[in-house]
Structure formats: structure tokens, C-alpha cells
């Protein structure tokens, strides 16, 4: 992948992350913490170069993007965010399996031009990549639709 294409894909992913972050951040009762590898890469560069350190770095490299804290229950959900122009069960299953190797109890949020999807990675794997449409009891469907419209405003999918 050339640098321009890589940068283009990186930007689409960041847009999906920001939309997810804002959607949850604007919902009462939740704290959104950035959690991904990008937030600790500088510290990891200082880590010793032993085999154990390399294994730890590999686990952290695969860290989900966010930790969502439910302020009432204090439960923490780790969530990986992905943008997909076209969602397929095979692609979703492969991503879920990769996350599950290091972060067994994480969830996956997928932003697509057609909608948002969300589930725990172990459930996605059990369902062979099938993932449920995103539904949150505290976020009205019309608000979710507004965020989806925003996603599609910033990411234009070219027809093949």
C-alpha cells in the first residue's frame, strides 16, 4: 500500500473513531477514555528489548481504541473501532479473531456507509462474523442516524 492510500485509510479510521467517541461522550453516564496503541507508543519505545518486552509490546500494539466506563456500574468495556466501506462476515470475523488473541473481552464497533454495527468479539466469532446493528438504550435511533449522516458526509464511497 503506498503512502497516500495508507494515509487515506488512516483518515477514514480516525473519522470513524471520532464519531464513535462523540456519540458515546454525548451520552450521559459514560466516560470515554482513549486506550489504543497510539497513546502509549512513546513509552513503549523506551521499553527494554528483551523477548518478554517484545511480547508485551505486541499485545499493547493490538490494544482496542477506547475504554468506555459506565459511571453507574463502573464496568469498563474495551472497544476497537473499524471503518469498512463494505462489511463482510469474513472480514469482520478475521478482525474479531485478531482482537480476541490479545483482548478476549473486547468489543468491536464497525462504521459503514450503511450503518453502525457492534458486538463482543467472542460473540462475533461464535456467529462466524455476523455482527448486530449498533443499538444503545440511551442513544435514540435518530441521533445514531445523524452520526451516520455525518460519517457519510466526510467519507464518500466511490462506486465501483
Domain presence at residue 72: yes
Specify the pTM: 0.88
Domain presence at residue 160: no
> Do residues 111 and 22 make contact, with C-beta atoms less than 8 angstroms apart?
no
| pLDDT tens figures, 98-157 | 999 989 899 999 999 999 999 999 999 999 999 999 999 999 999 999 999 999 999 987
Domain presence at residue 99: yes
Beta bridge partners, 68, equal 32, 77
| pLDDT tens figures, 40-66 | 666 666 666 777 767 777 777 778 999
Number of domains making up the chain: 1
Domain presence at residue 7: yes
Residue 118: in which H helix or E strand, if any?
Answer: strand 115-120
Domain presence at residue 101: yes
Domain presence at residue 67: yes
Domain presence at residue 159: no
The CATH number of whichever domain residue 98 belongs to comes to 3.40.91
User: Domain containing 37: what range?
Assistant: 3-154
| pLDDT tens figures, 67-106 | 999 999 999 999 999 999 999 999 999 999 999 998 989 9
Amino acid at each position: 500500500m503506498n503512502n497516500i492510500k495508507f494515509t487515506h485509510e488512516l483518515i477514514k479510521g480516525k473519522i470513524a473513531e471520532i464519531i464513535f467517541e462523540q456519540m458515546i461522550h454525548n451520552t450521559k453516564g459514560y466516560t470515554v477514555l482513549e486506550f489504543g496503541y497510539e497513546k502509549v507508543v512513546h513509552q513503549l519505545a523506551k521499553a527494554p528489548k528483551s523477548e518478554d518486552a517484545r511480547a508485551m509490546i505486541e499485545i499493547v500494539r493490538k490494544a482496542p481504541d477506547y475504554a468506555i466506563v459506565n459511571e453507574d456500574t463502573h464496568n469498563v468495556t474495551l472497544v476497537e473501532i473499524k471503518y469498512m466501506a463494505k462489511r463482510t462476515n469474513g472480514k469482520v470475523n478475521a478482525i474479531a479473531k485478531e482482537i480476541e488473541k490479545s483482548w478476549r473481552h473486547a468489543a468491536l464497533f464497525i462504521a459503514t456507509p450503511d450503518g453502525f454495527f457492534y458486538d463482543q468479539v467472542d460473540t462475533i466469532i461464535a456467529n462466524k462474523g455476523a455482527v448486530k446493528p449498533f443499538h444503545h438504550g440511551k442513544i435514540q435511533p435518530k441521533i445514531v442516524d445523524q452520526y451516520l449522516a455525518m460519517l457519510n458526509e466526510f467519507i464518500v464511497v466511490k462506486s465501483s
